[in-house]
Chains A and B, each alone.
Chain A
Amino acid sequence: MAKPVSLQNKEFGAGGKPISQKGESLWKDSMRRLMRNRAAVIGGSIIVLLLLLAVFADVIAPYPFAEQTLVDQNKLPQWVLSLFPTMEPYAQLSPKYFFGADYVGRDMMSRIIYGTRVSLTVAFIGPIISLIIGVIYGSISGYFGGRLDNLMMRIVDVLYAFPSLLFIILLLAFFRSTFARPAPGTFTYSVSQLDAAMGGLLFIFIGIGLTAWATMARLTRGQVLSVREKEFVEAARTLGANDMRIMFRHILPNVVGPLVVAETLAIPGYISTEAFLSFIGIGVNPPTPSWGSMISDGAQVIRTYPNQAVFPALALAITMFAFNFLGDGLRDALDPRLRGTQ
């Protein structure tokens, strides 16, 4: 006699799939989807590679970034001949420099390698600053709502109405003149010393930080507003959870996804802002190598020595592409519509 087949309700989960013992969080699930996205993986690997370059620049770069060899001014690399054999009679060639040398005889390759430091610092400090300010501001505004929210968002609107690049330029001009020659021992003196030690990056960070947080604040507020009304937040309140617990345990974990995506996609913007500022000459202090200032130098001799502008521009483009690819992949992987709260 055959026994009737009984399905034990408790062994099966959503979609009739058997439930195994170990749970899989949505983060893990997103990571797996990210790993399947080829463009994102390539973008991510490029970023890791650039990070290694920046960290080990002293070891990898063949020359110090500021070392000038005046006899090697504007030297072209040897391999140019294999592309353009007719250049042989009049080209200034040198096998020492793979990307050539610039107008004072500094190795282009070393400068590009050191240049990753500036760009990547901006790429990581920019998000940190804008996230810290933006998330705190936005979640206060969204969580408490009402009149406070209204007021806080109007302030953001005012900031938004201002063209951010112009704002940064104004800020930089203001900082540079205020902190030009302060008396030793004062606060302004230590700030300007710090800025000088960072090759002029400090003021760029402050400029980016003061403008970029507004976008994050708006996004955070919107996300918090939508998650705040979910039933699980109400459930937590019924259980007696206080505001801090609801904020950190229930709301923030459910809003970080879109924030991470937005921030990753904003990174190319920060990099290009720094490059632009250096390009117009108010960015990093020479001789700190920045891709922007190198492009600016190279642009003046672009018809005779295009390598001096093309290689830093390529480096900039690849870096920005890499962050964009990674951001796109993250967006697809973290898209809450695919799974989760449904």
Chain B
Amino acid sequence: MKEQNPEVLLRVENLVKHFPIKQGIILMKTIGAVHAVDDVSFNIHKGETLGLVGESGCGKSTTGRTILQLYRPTSGHVYYNDQDLVAMKGEELRKMRRKMQMIFQDPYASLNPRMTVGEIIGEPLMIHKLANRRQMEERVEHLLELVGLSGKFSNRFPHEFSGGQRQRIGVARALALNPDLIICDEPISALDVSIQAQVVNLLEDLQKEFELTYLFIAHDLSMVRHISDRVAVMYLGIIVELASRYDLYHDPLHPYTQALLSAVPIPDPLVEEKRKRVVLVGDVPTPVNPPSGCRFRTRCPIAEEICKELKPEWREVKPDHFVACHLIKEII
């Protein structure tokens, strides 16, 4: 085993999440499984932002939720400060939840429409019995102002706010417990472009102020480039490449990453005209029955015989640049 990096906050090891497909009326038989996340490993360092990108349905959100134990993993481990979350249950896990929070994608669905903003933001404090009524009110007001809303809004209901404001309420709720790690599950993809920038700036400011660590899940490559320190690329339940932001965007190694990045439009017509696009053919295979060997081989422009037979190893090709592809050596 490799020497542990002392500042690793979260270590994900061989995480697997399969969703069983069941059939039958009373005695349900499992007839298959959706391989949503299949053998994913990565580290998140303290204070950094790890971007997680990939197309819809590749298992980004499932990864985030499995880390938080909202879905219990099929196998694998999630170490938070060297404590295995997968082995935890009940009260122990509940206590750990204070350290890890989540910001959700849809600001309309992630706030209970029957509760006031004050109740929503104060709920984590109530659950963990961290404050009495007066302290809670003060804390809620403070949190609201922290995310750029007026502290007087605590008696209002979510439906009275706009999408960006609701997302700010969601951020305030996530901050209420002073967590170390926040998993942002596409926090901006449901918002207008102008509001996206505001929320991302808010997240960056908060990160600086509270030394937060983010796992930033998104499919907007430019936004991920803006906010992340390192970026992981997912395809059909596996991570194909993980590198620092600079490395990944300037020297993508995996053919899927190359194709993905070449799809990002460049806001300069002259450059846009000249650049070469890698266009993938076909659709993403079904995660119920993923391809043998390398999962990307069915659409890979450079696939060879070996890709069909062997699962590619997760290798550190350059310092801090990991990739899962048989053919990388030849490319370099």
- Which A residues lie at the B interface, using CB under 8 A? 9-15, 17, 19, 21-27, 147, 150-151, 154, 230-232, 234-242, 245, 249-250, 253-254, 339-342
Contact = CB atoms under 8 A, between A and B. Distances in A.
Interface in B102-118: 102, 104-106, 108-117
Contacts of B157: 23-26
Contact of A239 (B162, B164, B177): B177
A240 B97 contact: yes
B242 to A, nearest CB: 25
Contacts of A13: 156, 160-162, 165
A9 to B, nearest CB: 7
Given A150-B26, A239-B123, A342 B108 contact: yes
B109 A19 contact: no
12 contacts: A12-B162, A19-B150, A147-B28, A230-B109, A234-B104, A236-B112, A236-B123, A238-B70, A238-B102, A249-B115, A254-B112, A342-B108
Interface in B138-174: 148-150, 152-153, 155-157, 159-162, 164-165, 170, 173
B277 interface: no
A211 B151 CA distance: 51
B128 A21 contact: no
A238 B97 contact: yes
A238 B101 contact: yes
Contact of B113 (A14, A147, A254): A254
Contacts of A24: 156-157, 160
A6 to B, nearest CB: 14
B155 A23 contact: yes
A231 B109 contact: yes
A14 B161 contact: yes
Report the interface size class on chain B: 35 or more
Interface of B: 25-26, 28, 65, 68, 70, 94-95, 97-98, 100-102, 104-106, 108-117, 123-124, 127-128, 148-150, 152-153, 155-157, 159-162, 164-165, 170, 173, 177, 198
Contacts, number: 122
Contacts of B100: 238
A150 B28 CA distance: 9
Contact of B70 (A9, A11, A234): A234
Contact of B149 (A10, A235, A254): A10
Given A151-B26, A235-B173, A245-B127, A240 B165 contact: no
Given A14-B162, A150-B26, A239-B127, A19 B156 contact: yes
Nearest to B168: A10
Counting chain A CB atoms within 10 Å of each CB, which of B110, B112, B117 scores highest?
Answer: B112
Q: Which 5 A-B pairs have the closest CB atoms?
A: A23-B156, A231-B110, A253-B114, A240-B97, A231-B109
B159 A26 contact: yes
A32 to B, nearest CB: 14
B106 A231 contact: yes
A22 B155 contact: yes
Nearest to B112: A232
B123 A11 contact: no
A151 B25 CA distance: 9
A45 B106 CA distance: 42
Contact of A21 (B94, B115, B152, B170): B152
A157 to B, nearest CB: 11
Nearest to B162: A14
Given A25-B114, A235-B110, A240-B98, A19 B160 contact: yes
A209 to B, nearest CB: 27
A25 B95 CA distance: 32
A14 B110 contact: no
A146 to B, nearest CB: 8
Contacts of B198: 9
Nearest to A245: B127
B129 to A, nearest CB: 11
A238 B183 CA distance: 11
Contact of A26 (B68, B114, B124): B114
Given A231-B104, A235-B104, A254 B153 contact: no
A276 to B, nearest CB: 35
A341 B109 contact: yes
A245 B94 CA distance: 13
Given A9-B164, A150-B26, 16 more contacts: A10-B149, A12-B162, A14-B161, A19-B153, A23-B160, A24-B160, A26-B114, A232-B111, A234-B65, A235-B111, A235-B173, A239-B127, A240-B128, A241-B127, A253-B112, A254-B114
Contacts of B101: 238-239
Contact of B112 (A237, A242, A250, A339): A250
A14 B169 CA distance: 14
B181 to A, nearest CB: 11
A231 B162 contact: no
Contact of B127 (A21, A240, A253): A240
Contacts of A12: 162
Nearest to B164: A9
